[in-house]
Structure 1
Amino acid sequence: MGINNPELSIGDLLLITQNNYISGLMNGDLVTVESFFFKEKRAGLTFLNVTVKELFTQKSYSQLLIADILYNNQTNLSQIQQKELFVDFYLRMKKRNLKQDDKEFKAMMMKDPYLNALRSVFGYALTCHKAQGGEWETVFLDIPRSVPVVEKPYVYQWVYTAMTRAKKELYIVDDFWVM
């Protein structure tokens, strides 16, 4: 378990990267992995069946997760992957004699486990933007050395936000100095 293991493990921390219709998990939510197993390949993507627990509410959700996003340093599918996933859905609906303008087709889109699979990345390192509103006992902060010479006020607001995420200990990485 943890940041040093490139494969998904029970207990791993994940960051949800897109709002999810099925579970209600939102972009920016943090979850821990309770269980997972290989589900299948479909539309050129690998899907895992996972159970995750949302950190804030402690609610557990079981559904599919797109492993390709988790392992490929991307936060969502490419346009081509998105298209292939929709084409797969379209062909499955065509077998059921549903057309794209049917109400049932649209309702199935909202419930389809593949179209609505969780999209997430490992959540061990967060951008300041994603960390807003959160607090942790210990925070490791990497601030570029060029920050002291930046004349844009919003940069200092981000640094302040990042520094105030720590409850007890703040470590500034790469020997940065703060005046």
Structure 2
Amino acid sequence: TEHEPDVLLTEIHRQARDNPIIRLALDVREGREFMHGDYGTAQVIGREAVNQDLVLKADQVLVGTNRTRRRYNQRLRELKGFNADFPQAGDKLVCLRNDPAKGLLNGSLWKVMTSSRETVKPGINLLVSPEEDDPDRGVAKIKLLKAAFEDPDAEIPWQQKKRFDDFDYGYALTVHKAQGSQWNDVVLFDESWAFKETRQRWLYTAITRAAERLTIVR
């Protein structure tokens, strides 16, 4: 329903008094703009104030567009010392396609345990474990297509693509992909301008991905 009962709204307003993240989300939802500033567990800063430490310490970096996501993933991998153009042990990956048999869920995050590239064939064999300790999901064996990482912009025919698992780096995620997940410490690059009439909803969803700390860069 569009209009929640008053009781619920009163409760949300009460929480907002104690929680800067909920307060920002509420401001956005009710059409109010917010300014740069330190709100306690939430802060809003300009791009010039972003430093490596901030993004490396975050549990998750969120962005709006795929173009930014690709660029930031590349940069974050460099900062973390990964230099190969395919996933290495320690890399963070996001699953892009369900595979119930392997326990792979679209949008789920994984850590690479081992990675070995096939010399002649086009695949990379990985052993991955869920980023969060998840009793329902264990270690999974996946096979990725080398070409998808060597040239991310290349169009890969579905016939070839479907024979491999579909993953990408997960250091930066789009808010769309992050729906339904929450992290303690989130750095959000505000690209709400890209969403025109759904801008408010995008921003609300983005802000509410943070459970304890939120930094909005705009």
User: TM-score, normalization: structure 1?
Assistant: 0.63
- Segments of 5+ residues of structure 1 without an aligned counterpart are 87-114
**2: CA distance, partners of 1:138 / 1:62:** 29
What is the Cα deviation at residue 21 of structure 1?
A: 5.9
**1: CA distance, partners of 2:102 / 2:203:** 33
What is the Cα deviation at residue 49 of structure 1?
A: 1.2
- Write the letter of the residue equivalent to 1:66: L
What is the Cα deviation at residue 116 of structure 1?
A: 3.5
**After superposition, what is the alpha-carbon deviation per residue over 1:97-131, rounded to whole angstroms, capped at 9, x for unaligned?**
xxxxxxxxxxxxxxxxxx54221110011111111
Provide closer, same or farther for how the CA distance between residues 66 and 145 of structure 1 changes in structure 2, counting only shifts above 3 A: closer
2:216 maps to what in 1?
172
Over 3 Å off, 4+ runs: 144-147
Please tell me whether residue 53 in structure 1 is matched to residue 129 in structure 2. Answer: yes
Provide closer, same or farther for how the CA distance between residues 11 and 141 of structure 1 changes in structure 2, counting only shifts above 3 A: same
- Segments of 5+ residues of structure 2 without an aligned counterpart are 1-75
**1: CA distance, partners of 2:117 / 2:182:** 33
**After superposition, what is the alpha-carbon deviation per residue over 1:35-85, rounded to whole angstroms, capped at 9, x for unaligned?**
11112444xxx21111011235351012322222234335x9622xx34x3
2:88 maps to what in 1?
9
**1: CA distance, partners of 2:200 / 2:124:** 40
**1: CA distance, partners of 2:205 / 2:186:** 12
Q: 2:107 aligns with which of 13, 17, 28?
A: 28
Provide closer, same or farther for how the CA distance between residues 3 and 157 of structure 1 changes in structure 2, counting only shifts above 3 A: same
Matched position secondary structure for 1:126: strand
- Write the letter of the residue equivalent to 2:147: D
- Write the letter of the residue equivalent to 1:127: T
Higher relative contact order, structure no. (Cα contacts within 8 Å, ≥ 6 residues apart): 2
**1: CA distance, partners of 2:83 / 2:200:** 33
Matched position secondary structure for 1:130: helix
What is the Cα deviation at residue 14 of structure 1?
A: 0.3
Please give the root-mean-square deviation of Cα atoms over the aligned residues, in Å.
2.8
C-alpha contact 1:70 1:119 (8 A) present in aligned 2:
no
Provide closer, same or farther for how the CA distance between residues 134 and 55 of structure 1 changes in structure 2, counting only shifts above 3 A: same
- Write the letter of the residue equivalent to 1:54: P
**Number of matched residues?**
135
**1: CA distance, partners of 2:192 / 2:129:** 37
Please tell me whether residue 155 in structure 1 is matched to residue 199 in structure 2. Answer: yes
